[in-house]
Each structure stands twice: as C-alpha cells, then as structure tokens.
Amino acid sequence: MDPPAEEPSSKLLADVAKLTRQIAESGREQLELGQFMLDLTEGFSATLEYRPSMFPREQFIELRDRLSQFPLQEIASFTRSVSSTSLTLGSTIFAGFSDTELSSFASAKTPEQAAYNKLWLVVTRKANQPRVFEFMRRFGLDIARTGKESPLSFLEAALAAFERPSKEQDVSASSLIPMRSALEGTVDSLFARRRAQEPASGWEEKIRSISTQARRDGISDLTVSSWASQCHTIIQNLSLAKEDRIPRSVCESRLRSVQAFIAEFLEGLDPHKMRA
C-alpha cells in the first residue's frame, strides 16, 4: 500500500492564513468590545457621584459575572504558544543561511532577496531594542552578577559599538565581543537561577535545562529544541577565532539575530518559575 501523498506546502500555508484571518477578525471584535467597555465604565464612574440612585446596579452585577467567565488564562496560554511557534518558524528557516546571504537580502536586488528581506523584517519585528531591553529587565538581566557586567550592559555596548564604531578598532571586534558576552551572560544568568540545579554542559544543554524548568505553558518540546540549536549556532557565529575582519553588514545580521533570539527565548519563559 502506497504511503499517503504529502500535503502540498501551498495548501498548508493557505489553511494557516485562513485560520489566522479568522483569529484576527475575532481579536478585532474583542478589542473593540474591550475598549467600549472601558469607555463605558469610565463614563459611569464620572457620573456616579451625581445621581447614585440611577446607577444600574443589577445590570453591572450581571455584566461582571459574564466578564469573569471570559477565558483569560486559556487565551493567554494560546497566545504565548502560537507566538513562540511562529517566531521559531522564522528563526529556523534563517538558521540555514550564511551571514553573507543574510546581509545580501537587505539590498533586495532580486525578487528572491526582496522576498526573504520582507520575511526577515517580520521575523525580527519583535526584536526591537525597547522590547528586548524590557524582557531583559523583567528577568533581572540588567543586574551585574559575580563581578561581571550585566548581560544588558554588554548588549548596550555592542549596539553602541556598532552604531558609533571607533576609528581605531574594527567594528567586528568592538561589537561582536560584547554581543557574545550578552548572549552568554543571559544564558548563564538564567541557568544559575533554575530552581533545580541539575548538571548541564554546553549551550544547547543549558538552554534545554532552563526551558524544561521555566518554559511557559504551551511551549512545545520542538520549540525548546529550536531554541537550543539556535543558541549554539549563534554563539558559534559570534566567535572571532577564525576570522580577522568581517563586513559591517554581516555584523548587523548577527546583532539582529542575537536580539531576535533573546526576545524569543525570554518571551517563552515564566520568570515566576525561576529563583530571584
């Protein structure tokens, strides 16, 4: 008996797009309703002191009961799960490209480069600096430990070195070194804050150990494996051992990769499952 034919990728994409449109429309309706209810309650709050006897108390009791049944926890878990999986999809495909290929996409000289550049911009959208900094502060990664600079300080130094490179020093050396320290410091800090200090060696094992203990509900084993592989690959690429100077465009792609990974990884972890 012949095995079933593989589902065409185009149909898979079409199905995901259809479901996504349905979720987006539902989300817009919820957003509109939520904003309306906020405006409504603010309006009642502003008028309550003038004619309290006219306040529709019974209707508000009924409304509160209905709102309390809204499945916030389920929606939050669903959102984190889908968000993490979607980020992993993008990171996985770009892990297969060399730094030279990644840096060439920005030129968009060919239809292929333009298509991949558009996808790259979507994948790294959540990796904007304020968002990454916010995540790092949430996990205490702005605090220096064991006599070293904090991971956030290293990332800030890497960004500053890239934006304002020294004339005396190559941008690859001045930005890649603190960039790597930021990522390694992030992993080591989280590794030390695990509640169960089980042994693990190497970046992939450390990521797996952190994730096993502190991942948010809904984060799959596949996502954890992707995080582990990404971290190992990114740190390897940040090594200066086999290269003297690299182009600025390659530095930029590596910097964006670090920020995208940190944002994706931290978004999938629950700080309450870790030691302070």
Question: In this predicted model, what pLDDT tens digit does every residue of 17-42 receive, in sequence order?
Answer: 888 888 888 888 888 888 888 888 88
Domain identity same for 119 and 20: no
* Listed residues 70, 89, 112: the one ending a domain: 70
Backbone angles phi, psi at 157, to 5 degrees: -65, -40
Domain identity same for 174 and 44: no
Where b means 16+ CB within 10 Å and e means fewer, 146-181 reads eeebbbbbbbbbbbebbeebeeeebbbbbbbbbbbb
Average pLDDT for 171-182: 84
Domain identity same for 66 and 91: no
CA dist 34 and 74 (Å) reads 17
Domain identity same for 27 and 124: no
Instruction: Establish if 3 belongs to a structural domain.
Output: no
Domain identity same for 105 and 239: yes
- Label residue 240 exposed, middle or buried (CB < 10 Å: 0-12, 13-18, 19+): middle
Domain identity same for 59 and 110: no
Backbone angles phi, psi at 269, to 5 degrees: -105, 155
Is residue 151 very low, low, confident or very high in pLDDT (cuts 50, 70, 90)?
very high
Retrieve residue 48's tokens: 């309550």
Domain range spanning residue 214?
A: 78-273
Q: What is this structure's pTM?
A: 0.70
Domain identity same for 186 and 121: yes
CA dist 262 and 270 (Å) reads 14
